[in-house]
Structure formats: C-alpha cells, structure tokens
Amino acid sequence: MVRLEAIPEYVKKSLAERNVWPASIKLTAGADLSIDGDFCETWIVITDESLVLIRGPVTSSVSFTGTGEKSRTKARESKSWRVDAFETYPLEEVEGLKVENLASSCILILKTKNGEKALCCFTNSHSRKFRLMAKLLDKVKKGEELVDEDFVDDRPLSYCPKCGMLYPDQARPVCPRCLDKRSIFLRVLSFVPRYKVQTTLIILFMLLSSALNLLSPYLGGQVLFDEVLAEGGKYYGRVFEIILVIILARLLSLLISITYARINAGMTAEVIYDLKTEIFSAMQRLSLSFYSRKQTGSLMTRVNSDAMHLQYFFHDGLPYFIVNCVNIIGIGTVMVIMNWKLALMVLIPAPLIVLFLRKSWPKLYALFGRRYRKSSSMNSLLNDTFKGFRVVKAFGKEMREIERFGRANEGVYSVDIGLGNMIHTMFPLVSLGMTLGGIIVWAAGGTQVISGSLSFGTLMTFANYIGMIYGPLEFMTHIVDWWNSCMNSAQRIFEVLDAVPEVTEKPDPVRLPDMKGEIELKNVTFSYEPNKPVLQDINIKIKAGEVIGLVGHSGAGKSTIANLITRLYDVQEGSISIDGINVKDLAIKDLRKQIGMVSQETYLFIGTIAENISYAKPDATMEEIISAAKAANAHEFIMKLPDGYDTRIGTGGRDLSGGERQRISIARAILHDPKILILDEATASVDTDTERQIQEALEKLVKGRTTISIAHRLSTLRNADRLYVLENGKIVEEGTHAELIRARGVYYKLYTKQSEALKMRGVGD
Amino acid sequence: MGDSSQKQLLEFTTVTYLDPEKSKFSRTPGGFLSLVTEDGREYPRVNLHRAFPFTQTNEFISVRDPEGNEIGIIRSLYDFPREVIKLLEEEMNRRYFAPVITKIYSLKEEFGYTYWDVQTDAGHCRFTARSGSSSFIFITDVRILVVDVDGNRFEIPDFRELDEKSRKKLEILL
C-alpha cells in the first residue's frame, strides 16, 4: 500500500514502464527542486527491494502552501511530463536517508556504503514527509510492515473543502478566502443584543434628528417665504410665530443630539471595555507557542486597535448607515415630490462626485496606511534608542541616532505632506461638485421663479436640501472600505477568541494534589518549528528528591526540557511522566502548583516587593513572605531599602540589581513551595559574591525537592546526584561529576576548559 | 596551564582564512563539495555558509564540515581560479535557494496573509505569506525579502527596478 503521498497516474505509468510495479511500492514522496536548484518534479519511491528516483523536466510553474490544491495539481501537468532521470539503488546498499536544512530549502541525502549522495532538493513545504520517509526507510529495510501509527506524525496538510485552498494556518481550519464575510457580520451582530437598548435608542434619536433636519429647510424656506412673507400666504404676516416654531425645532433638535451623543459615548466605552476584556481573557487561555509565534506588538494591536475598529461598527457604522439610508431616501422623496424636474437636476453632478470619490478613496486610504506604518516605525526607533541609551552614550553615538531619527522623521514628514496635499485637493473638488449642483438649481430654478412657474420659497428649500443630500452620499462611497476594515478587525478578534490552545487539559484529568516528584522522560523528541528538532530521543529518569544537572552548550536544548516538564509545550514524540502519570493526563492546576521555576530571566511585575514574592501564593501571610525572603538571602537588602517590602518595583519603579531580582524570584519560588524545582541558569547573570549568596539560598531551597538544575557554570553543579550532558538535542553522557571527569569525555573537556578560563582570568575555582 | 589548551583557545579566537592557491575544492561523485586544505587535511564533504548572505554574497564565506565546525573562511570568491568559482557558486546557489521575483502578476492582502502570484527567475510561483514585517523584510532601502508560511524565501533585489505595474501592486506593502 502506497503511503505518504499519492503519485499521479503519469508517474505511475513511467515507473511501470521501468519495471517498478505499484504493488511493490511502500513509500513515495514528491520533491520540487533539483540538485541544481531548478524547479522540477522529482519522486522518491521506496519499494521492497530498492529506492528509486524519477525526475521530470524543469517546470515553469510552482504553487506553495496556501495557494490552492487545484493549482498545485495543475502545475503537475501530465502533458509536460517526461522522464529526465531514473536512478535505482538496491536497498541492501542503502544505509539511510538524511534530510539537511539549507538556508531556506532542504536537501535529501542518500547514505550508501560508498559514501553520501545528493538526491534532490525541495522547498520547506515538503520537508515533513521526507523526514518521515527517512525514518520509515529503516523499517522497510528490516522487512517490517508499515502500520498506521507510523504515519501519525504525517499530519496531512488540511485544505478548505470548498475552494481547495490550503489553510494558511494549519492549526486553525478556517479558509480566509471562503470565509463568509456575512457570517462574520452576523457574528458581530450577535454582540448587538447586549447593547440592544442603546443601539435602538441611538438609531431612534438619529432618525428623529434627521426628521427635524428635514423639516427645518421646509420651515425656513417654503413656509417662511411663500406662506408668511408672501402676500396671500396662508400665515401671511405671522413672522414671530414662525420664528418661534423655527427656534423650537432647533432647540428640540439640539436636545435630541445631546441625548444621543451621551448615550453613544457611554455605549462606546462599554463596547470597548467588553471587547478588550474578552480578548485579553481569551489570550490568557492560550499556550506559550501562541505568544512566541506572534510579535508582542501585533498582540497589543489586537487588543487595542482591533477592538477600536469593531467599536466603530456599533457606534459609527451601523447607526450612520441606517440613518444615512433614511436621509437619502427621505430627502430624495421630498425633493421629487416638491419638484421632480429640479430634483433630477440636483442629481446631475452626483454621479460625477460619487465616481470621483470612489477613485480617490483608495488612494487616500493607501496614504493613511503608509502614514500609519511610517509613524509606527518611527515609534519603534524611539523605543529602540531609549532602551539602548546607555550604549548610545557610552559609544558617543548621539549624532548617529539623531541622523537615524531624522530619516524616520523625514519619512513621516513626506507622507504627511502627501496626505495634506491629497486631502486639501480632494475635498475642495468635492465641494465644488456640490456647489455645482446648487448652481444648476439656482440657474434653472431662477428662470422658473421669474416665469412664475416656481415659488421663491420652494427654490430656497431646494437649495437647502441640496447641501443635505451630499453628506450621506459621500458616506456611501466609502462604506465598502469601512465594511472591509471592520470585518478584518472582527476576523482577527475572532481568531483569538476561537484559537484552540495547543496545550489542553484532558476532559477528566488525573488529580495529583500531593506529588512525590518522580520524573521520567521517555524517548522525548520535540521541535518548536516544524522540521527543526531541538530534542531527540531524550531519556531521563529522576527519583523523588534527587538533584540532577543538565549541562551543555547554549542551544543544546536544556531549557526546552524544562519547558516540556512544566508543560508549557507538549512533546511531539515520546512521553513525560510525573509519579508514573503522563503529564498530558494530569490536571494542569496540580502540575503547575507543584513545579516551581527560577530562571535567568527574572520577571518582576509592576507592584511591591511583597506582591512580587507572593505572586504564586497571593494569600501568603507577612510572616511567610519574610521567612521566604530570609531563606532567599533577600531579607537584608530589602530591609535596607527605605520602603522595605513595600518598595514598588517593575516598570517605573525602583531599579534592582540582577542579583537582587534573582533573589526575589527565588523567594517567590520558596513561597510557592513546589515539589519539583527547576533552576534554569538561576545564577548566570550575577557576580561571584552574589552567586555565593544565591547558591546558599538555593541549597536551602532544593532540600526535599526534586531539582533539575541547568547551569553554564559547571562548578555550581558539582553536588548534583547526576549530570546529563546534552549536545545538539541529544544526551551524550550521564553520571556524577566524578564519574564524568574520570570518563574524560565531553563533560571533562567542558569542565577543564571552563576552569582554565577562570584560572586565566585569575578567578580560580 | 597546558600548551594544548592555550593553542585551543587561540584557535577558538582567531579567524582562519583559506589560501586560494593551496585549498583544493572539488566535486564528489555524490554531488557534494570536498576540500583538501593546505596542511593536507581532507574533507570529503564541506558546506558553504555566507557570513553576509544579504550584503556580501561573494565574500567571507565560511567553509564548514557537515557537523558544523568551521574549517576556514574564504575571504573573496574571486581570489580562486575560474573553475573553482563556478563550483563554489553552484554550491552556494543550492544552499541559498531564493527565487528572484521579476514580475508581480497579483498581490493581495487579506485577513493577515498576503497572496502572491509572481514570475521569478526559477519560474512562475504562487505562494502565501503572513502579513507583517516578519515576512516582508527590507534588507536594504530597496532590497526586499519575502518569506512564505513555510519559510521559503523570495527576493526582490531592487523594487524600483520592477516594472510599473508590479511596483503598483507592491505599493500596498511599502
């Protein structure tokens, strides 16, 4: 049975012509690059007896992930297929396959007894299946049957069933192209019932005020001139009464708009508040990988500006849309009823204006977008310089920074000029168009007034209505853009609300309120990014209460092990168990409660020292906080601060030294009182003296706990029960310090290098 | 302190440049690059890593064994004989595969992704990238690197030199 990737019929045919029969094929996978870096279709086929490479001609068109399955298959057209290369390697000569990463593609290497051979290259999109093929080749060679479990890791890329497009984000099966904007709209609308009263009131008041607006030209025009001022009018001479009515109408209109504005302001704040809370809580639920994948900046945008955009929907978009529709229809109807000939004349410039606006809006939007990007790049430059101000000063590079800022500032400046020019040309032109409508009406209406077929009042009323109809028309010209940006924001917000955390708790998790602290890692393999394994086949067994050390170069995967045990990430292969229970089955609450971590990056939140120490146990008593601080050797320096435990730290607060921060985070861990303790380079960034103090604190801390200590300075690990030496994600040595020194292996080399380096600096060890 | 570790430290902290006259590169039957250094050490397979892949493509090229240890650095490609240059260039083209975009047929930004349909020096390509600065990188003021959802790279050496229509389409991202 053929697995991994189905081969097209035309390739099958070519294979059969060369005596490779479908029945004997075990594994197949297609690559898209030749060794020379040309796009060409290459298939690697593994049969019972041999490994076969079959390569077609250079192709002129390639589709990558996310551009639609249909176009992918189209690219592989049978018409252009011919066999350019056909190579067979008997399996008994094949030692294995290897996938190596190049800068942005991969190469497939065949290992034989005679050395290595480059078979083909492929873009990253194909990497997963080839790695799996390399792994499964061994099984085929041994003559073992391939079973379904072997392909568990080959999560096939999922497609949108509607248009055949690959989901750009595989973790989230939503096709952005087929995504029904109307369904987003409906979902946004589903927020409305929460603000039912406000929205209804807003629309009601807007309608009322536009009705009054409709009335006022009529009162001030036709009624005033034709009925009050003109001889023979119905209310001839009753000037004061009509003025009173006009004033009353104005007052009423004012009252309505004030009420409306107040309701509106209140609702705006409420919508934003609700949305932000909802997004923020949804984000807290997500796994760490979500945060490392997204930039902090874009997350902040999501909380702030997308919520803002969506709020426009409730407070500007929807009510304005309804009201403007009503306005256009209302004014139009009134005008047609009054004088349909004149009404048509008003509309002469309207298509011109609408056309002009439709053409100009996209340009204006593009400029606004550019301005936004330019100013955000200026902001990040400011941020960058202020953060690194010490370096700037120390190297005397102020002038350089001024120049750099000057360039960014100039970018904003030139966009601003362009934007200003655009705005100040576009809108006067639009208003010219509107005046044009008025002038036409004056001209045509004027002649009619003189000939007596039109009253002066009607003309005045008309002129006033003209001014009123263009505003709503203008609104309608950019409603599409408004709609799009609103729906985009909504979609981004829903993405967060709907995101499924990668690390999830099982529905019925095992409770383990009292851990012993036994940890076992069995054949653990893990990678942050697909195709780049950070840990490979790790096996570690730790008894309760043991202290073990993880040693190795930076990037060897030490901290990753810590991340996996705390289940910030889930292992991809193998398992991690605590007290014999797989961490995936454990209640996350119990797990986190009993694992404490002191790491190199000590993060202190904005707040007092006491609050920071009691972060993991907010209900801790003062006595507990002080005794934790005492145990962490932090009490002394805290008491020397004028504000003691009430000293405010974190952004904007008091600046603490690296060692002080470190000791506060140790106090935090002591108070947390975990069964399992992870020390990730806990003493890496402090001087020797402080290190000794911290070491002391740590020795008190590790008593009676299972401790995993990660350290660069090997001297700090000498007392560990056992050390594991990692290299490139694999364990290469294990044993006690003495054993490893005796073994004269990797650890010995690292150790002698370090102690000599220390001697050279005259520090001694 | 032993002499050997002194030597090790020295090796660790100084840069070795390869002598163009005495370093012998050749192509292996398996399609890889092999090297014999001036002191006669043989490396059946070496990889080439550019120190400045964006700015100095033909200078400062690190020659490494498959385990990633540096054997030495090529200061400039052009110090080598012509046939060796060709060999090294082939090897680097393989490693730094990134089609050069010559024409943009269509470019759309929607829902946090950009959809590209472009002509490149390696053929017609369609790909999807995430929106934002991490996928659309200005290497210099004019040179742009586009990274798609899988990490495949595409390059625009100078966006000003694209034709009018393509540049217009690119505008939404500039």
What is the three-class DSSP state of B107?
strand
Tens-digit pLDDT profile for residues A24-35: 888 888 888 888
pLDDT of A312: 75
A492 at the B interface (CB within 8 A)?
yes
Tens-digit pLDDT profile for residues A448-467: 888 888 888 888 888 788 77
pLDDT of A155: 54
Higher pLDDT, A171 or A208: A208
CB contact under 8 A, B98 and A103: yes
CB contact under 8 A, A67 and B112: no
What residue segments make up the domains of chain B, in order of their start?
Answer: 3-95, 101-173
B97 at the A interface (CB within 8 A)?
yes
> With contact defined as beta carbons under 8 Å apart, do A667 and A628 qualify?
yes
> With contact defined as beta carbons under 8 Å apart, do A466 and A437 qualify?
yes
Q: Which of residues 138-157 of B touch A (CB under 8 A)?
A: 147-153
Which of A211-215, A250-254, A483-487, A524-528 is predicted with the least confidence, judged by mean pLDDT? A483-487
pLDDT > 70? residue A184: yes
Give dist(CA A652, CA A629) in Å, integer. 23
> What integer is the mean pLDDT of B115-124?
88
Give dist(CA A39, CA A35) in Å, integer. 10
> What integer is the mean pLDDT of A10-33?
82
What is the three-class DSSP state of A43?
strand
Taking the C-alpha atoms of A481, A486, A489 and A491 in order, what is their torsion angle to the nearest 10 degrees? -100
Higher pLDDT, A181 or A764: A181
B86 at the A interface (CB within 8 A)?
no
Helices (H) and strands (E) in chain A, counts: 25, 21
> What integer is the mean pLDDT of A656-673?
85
Give, for A434, the enclosing helix (H) or strand (E): helix A398-451
- Work out whether the CA dihedral A248, A252, A257, A258 comes out positive or negative: positive
pLDDT > 80? residue A671: yes
pLDDT of B105: 92
> With contact defined as beta carbons under 8 Å apart, do A660 and A633 qualify?
no
Which spans in A617-686 are helix H? 622-631, 635-640, 658-672
pLDDT of A764: 43
Burial A576-612 (b: 16+ CB within 10 A, else e): bbbbeeebbebbbebbbbbbbbbbbebebeeebbbbb
Place A173 in a pLDDT band, splitting at 50, 70 and 90.
low
A369 at the B interface (CB within 8 A)?
yes
Angle between helix A688-702 and helix A658-672 axes, rounded to 10 deg:
0
Nearest to A517, CA basis, from A674, A720, A723, A681: A674
Tens-digit pLDDT profile for residues B54-79: 888 888 999 998 888 888 899 998 99
CB-side neighbour CA atoms (13 Å) of B61: 23
Tens-digit pLDDT profile for residues A361-376: 778 877 877 787 788 7
What residue segments make up the domains of chain A, in order of their start?
Answer: 3-151, 182-339, 340-453, 512-590+717-765
CB-side neighbour CA atoms (13 Å) of A639: 9
Given the candidates 1.20.810.10, 1.20.58.100, 1.20.1560.10, 3.40.50.2020, the CATH classification of the domain at A182-339 is: 1.20.1560.10
Tally A–B CB contacts below 8 A: 136
Taking CA atoms, what residue in A is nearest to B66? Answer: A100
Mean pLDDT (chain A) is 80
> Among A60, A295, A492, whose Cβ lies nearest the Cβ of B124?
A60
Q: Which residues pair with A159 in a beta bridge?
A: A166
pLDDT of B104: 92
**CATH topology assigned to domain A512-590+717-765:** Rossmann fold (3.40.50)
Residues in chain A: 765
Give dist(CA A275, CA A291) in Å, integer. 20
> With contact defined as beta carbons under 8 Å apart, do A24 and A17 qualify?
no
- The residues, ordered by sequence, that sit 6+ positions from B139 with a Cβ below 8 Å of its Cβ are B54, B55, B145
Q: For domain A3-151, give the CATH number.
A: 2.30.29.30
Which of A170-184, A237-251, A277-291, B129-143 is predicted with the least confidence, judged by mean pLDDT? A170-184
> With contact defined as beta carbons under 8 Å apart, do A389 and A397 qualify?
no
CB contact under 8 A, A107 and B94: yes
Q: Which residues pair with A87 in a beta bridge?
A: A53
Place A417 in a pLDDT band, splitting at 50, 70 and 90.
very high
> With contact defined as beta carbons under 8 Å apart, do A210 and A327 qualify?
yes
Nearest to B61, CA basis, from B105, B20, B113, B108: B20
Q: Which burial class, exposed, middle or buried, applies to A656 when counting CB atoms under 10 A from its CB (0-12, 13-18, 19+)?
A: buried
The pTM assigned to this predicted structure is: 0.63
Residues in A closer than 8 angstroms to B28, CB to CB, are 115
CB contact under 8 A, A492 and B32: no
> With contact defined as beta carbons under 8 Å apart, do A509 and A293 qualify?
no
Place A1 in a pLDDT band, splitting at 50, 70 and 90.
very low
Residues in A closer than 8 angstroms to B113, CB to CB, are 66, 168, 176
Which of A307-321, A587-601, B25-39 is predicted with the least confidence, judged by mean pLDDT? A307-321
Distance from the A700 Cα atom to the nearest Cα atom in chain B, whole angstroms: 36
- Long-range (24+ apart) CB contacts under 8 A made by A355-362 are A356/A429, A356/A430, A356/A433, A357/A430, A357/A474, A357/A477, A357/A478, A358/A477, A360/A422, A360/A426, A361/A477, A361/A478, A361/A481, A362/A481
pLDDT > 70? residue A747: yes
Which of A270-274, A706-710, B142-146 is predicted with the least confidence, judged by mean pLDDT? A270-274
Give, for B24, the enclosing helix (H) or strand (E): strand B24-27
> With contact defined as beta carbons under 8 Å apart, do B128 and A69 qualify?
no
pLDDT > 70? residue B6: no
Q: What is the DSSP letter of A507?
A: S
CB contact under 8 A, B123 and A124: no
- Rounded to a whole number, what is the distance in angstroms from the first to the last CA of chain A? 63
pLDDT > 70? residue A596: yes
> With contact defined as beta carbons under 8 Å apart, do B62 and A149 qualify?
no
Which of A69-78, A509-518, A589-598, B52-61 is predicted with the least confidence, judged by mean pLDDT? A69-78
User: Helix/strand/coil (H, E, C) string of A60-121?
Assistant: CEEECCCCCHHHHHHHCCCCCCCCCEEEEEECCCEEEEEEEECCCEEEEEEEECCEEEEEEE
pLDDT of A143: 76
pLDDT > 60? residue A583: yes
Paired tokens of A680: 């990730």
Tens-digit pLDDT profile for residues B104-114: 998 887 666 78
Paired tokens of A244: 């009173």
Paired tokens of A39: 């796009």
Which of A311-315, A337-341, A365-369, A430-434 is predicted with the least confidence, judged by mean pLDDT? A311-315
Higher pLDDT, A277 or A158: A277
- Work out whether the CA dihedral A215, A220, A222, A228 comes out positive or negative: positive
CB contact under 8 A, A63 and B171: no
Give dist(CA B49, CA B61) in Å, integer. 6
Paired tokens of A47: 């049969």
Taking CA atoms, what residue in A is nearest to B154? Answer: A104
Give the percent of chain A with pLDDT over 70.
88
Paired tokens of A376: 């955000």
Place B137 in a pLDDT band, splitting at 50, 70 and 90.
confident
pLDDT of A177: 61
State ipTM.
Answer: 0.88
pLDDT of A159: 63
pLDDT > 80? residue B86: yes
Nearest to A379, CA basis, from A391, A367, A387, A369: A387
CB contact under 8 A, A107 and B172: no
> What integer is the mean pLDDT of A222-251?
81
A87 at the B interface (CB within 8 A)?
no
> What integer is the mean pLDDT of A191-203?
79
pLDDT of A765: 42
Suggest the residue from A32, A58, A60, A67 to mutate for an interface test with chain B (most B CBs closer than 10 A): A67
